Amino acid sequence: MRICLLTEGSYPYVVGGVSSWVQMLMVGLPQYEFFIYSIGAEAKDRGKYKYKLPENCVGVQEEFLDDILGLKSKGMRENILKPFEKEALYDLVSGDKPLPFDALVEIFHLGRKRRGPLDIFMSSDFFDIIQRVYEERYRYLPFTDFFWTLRSMLLPLFYLLQQELPEADIYHSVATGYCGVIGGMAATVYKKPFMITEHGIYSREREAEIIKSDWAKGEFKSVWIRYFYNLARLAYDTADHVYTLFGHNAEIERDLGCAPEKIGVVPNGVKMERFQNIPELKPAEGRPFTIGAVVRVVPIKDIVTMIRAFFLVKQQIPDAQLFIMGQYEEDPDYYEFCKQTVDMLKVQDVTFTGSVNVAEYLERMDLLLLTSISEGQPLAVLEGQAARRPFVTTDVGCCRELIYGEEGDELGTAGAVVAPMDFVKMAEEIVRLAGDYNLRRQMGNIGYERVKRYYTYELFMDSYRQIYEEESKVVRT
């Protein structure tokens, strides 16, 4: 059986939770063939993999969004869309009602030899669609700006929908964005099952990024946000099953329009033996109090909040150290901003390690942090708990459940949870835990027991082995 895993902005170019999940899934299920369909931002990353592909990964199809810049327009074209195609594209742009994927197959897959993505966009037919949507909903915006905004939004989708689609027995997307729509297209073309595993809520993450962005201005932020919610709903509608990592995400998916009967929960899992040689927490006597964070240095992880919190911690624990363990090459501008924040605050003992063997560093840590503004079920927290280290996290994704336990889990508290971006409260919790070794040790052991019971690699693999066997029986007509 061949499974096509569809990724976006992650595997195999970016080290992180989703990418680690993909690698772990393929390595743990050697009885299946995997094929990677990867959507990246820049073609300069072509072939530059951060992971060694396992033997059962039989190929990678790389698609890069900046290839759109090389497209050539033939100028305005007349009457290239059939009436039903125009109506389908109107539904796609407006997002007011479910869109049959058969229409997208007709427009973009079957029709790609006679017209490219720019041909569709630069046609009088599609101009009429844009004008119709504008007059119905966005007349308060300048039309020229609206047109170019839609061009920026839709050309990547149109381009991807016209690329070759790999053949597989199951299509499995790791998000509901572009890769979710492409997975739905491939499943429709080849009449094969399609499933999604949503780690974070893709549309919510894009919304958070857009709100904070400089490139989307004023009221156009809402246009972009609506677009990504429409993509998510399109992916949900065409998927046979949608899996998520914890119950709260399942509730959000239902609220966003995913049919409840499609949704299942499969937690992440970690290899406990990887951390078995790390001893219980020891007192921080005669040495600096050491704080760590296993995290990519990117805006969604909010490293700036971590630095601000550590600045306050240093006022009360002068010998404290902070190790930020993770790659910083992904967003050089943000990395520079983080270093500038360290310099501006004149805070000492902050170390950006880059990518490291996490298991070798965790033994040195007295406390671990996670300051993200959005998460799914972070592997960094599970791995830290497997190493018997307590956490202070933000209240995002599954962190509350990992720290305090879900209903029926009476193990106790494995750390502290604070609101996103609240660096003052985070600093208070760090100082509180730093002052009580017995409490930290107890919390670390509780986290270890929670992972051992509910979040092991073996449970994770058994779940997906069964899911793939069940998905293979789904019949599409």
Question: Does residue 76 fall inside a structural domain?
Answer: no
| 212 — pLDDT class (breaks 50, 70, 90) | confident
In the chain, pLDDT over 90 holds for what percent of residues? 76
Q: What is the pLDDT of residue 209?
A: 87
pLDDT at 34 over 80: yes
Please tell me whether residues 216 and 282 are part of one structural domain.
Answer: no
Asked if residue 158 belongs to a domain, the reply is no
Structure token pair of residue 436: 């009580």
Q: For residue 183, what pLDDT is reported?
A: 97
- Average pLDDT, rounded, for the chain: 93
Domain count, the chain: 3
The tokens for 344 are 């501006």
**Which of 150, 173, 190 corresponds to the end of one domain?**
150
pLDDT mean over 466-473: 94
Whether the pLDDT of residue 310 is over 90: the answer is yes
Mean per-residue pLDDT for 426-447?
Answer: 97
Q: Is residue 78 situated within a structural domain?
A: no
Any domain includes 77: no
Instruction: Inform me whether the pLDDT recorded for 163 exceeds 80.
Output: yes
Instruction: Tell me, yes or no, whether 434 lies in a domain.
Output: yes
Among the listed residues 356, 358, 339, the one whose alpha carbon sits nearest the alpha carbon of residue 347: 339
**Position 13 pLDDT exceeds 90:** yes
Residue 17 banded pLDDT, cuts 50, 70, 90:
confident
CA distance 115 to 123: 10
In a domain, 93, yes or no: yes
- List b or e across 291-304, with b for residues whose CB sees 16 or more CB atoms inside 10 angstroms: bbbbbbbbbbbbbb
DSSP annotation of 115: -
At residue 323, the pLDDT reads: 98
Return the pLDDT at 81: 86
C-beta neighbour count of 189 within 10 angstroms: 16
Q: pLDDT-derived band of residue 74, with 50, 70 and 90 as boundaries?
A: confident
Residues 59 and 94 in one domain: no
More confident: 69 or 311: 311
CB 39 within 8 A of CB 178: yes
The helix (run of H) or strand (run of E) holding residue 332 is: helix 332-345
Work out the percent of the chain whose per-residue pLDDT is above 70. 100
User: Once rounded to an integer, what is the mean pLDDT over residues 291-310?
Assistant: 96
pLDDT at 334: 96
Quickly count: other Cβ atoms within 10 Å of residue 219's Cβ.
Answer: 13
Residues 6+ apart with CB under 8 A from 100: 88
Q: Which of the 8 DSSP states describes residue 105?
A: I
Same domain, 176 and 49: yes
Same domain for 288 and 436: yes
Q: Are 403 and 357 members of one domain?
A: yes
For the cut 80, the answer to whether the pLDDT of residue 98 exceeds it is no
Q: Show Cβ contacts of residue 377 under 8 Å, excluding neighbours closer than 6 positions.
A: 199, 245, 246, 267, 268, 397, 398, 402
Grouping H, G, I as helix, E, B as strand and the rest as coil, residue 428 is helix
- Flag whether 314 is in a domain: yes
Which of 125, 150, 175 is where one domain is finished?
A: 150
**Boundary-marking domain end, from 150, 172, 204:** 150
The token pair that represents 455 in the structure block: 């979040």
What are the pLDDT digits (tens) for 234-255?
999 999 999 999 998 999 999 9
326 lies in the same domain as 350: yes
Asked whether residue 57 falls in the same domain as residue 98, the answer is no
Q: Is the pLDDT of residue 76 over 90?
A: no
**Helix axis angle, 143-161 relative to 178-190, nearest 10°?**
50
Q: How confident is residue 431, by pLDDT bands cut at 50, 70 and 90?
A: very high
Q: Are residues 324 and 433 in the same domain?
A: yes
Mean per-residue pLDDT for 445-458?
96
**pLDDT for the residue numbered 469:** 96
196, 279: one domain? no
Would you say residue 133 has pLDDT above 90?
Answer: yes
Number of H helices, E strands in the chain: 18, 13
- Give a yes or no: residue 360 inside a domain: yes
Are 293 and 398 within one domain? yes
Which range is least confidently modeled, 20-24, 216-220, 317-321, 455-459? 216-220
Strands (E) across 27-88 are located at: 33-40, 57-64
CATH of residue 58: 3.40.50.2000
Looking at the fold, whether 263 and 276 belong to one and the same domain comes out as no
* Same domain, residue pair 326 and 437: yes
pLDDT at 114 over 90: no
What range does the domain containing 130 cover?
83-150
Per DSSP, what are the bridge partners of residue 263? 242
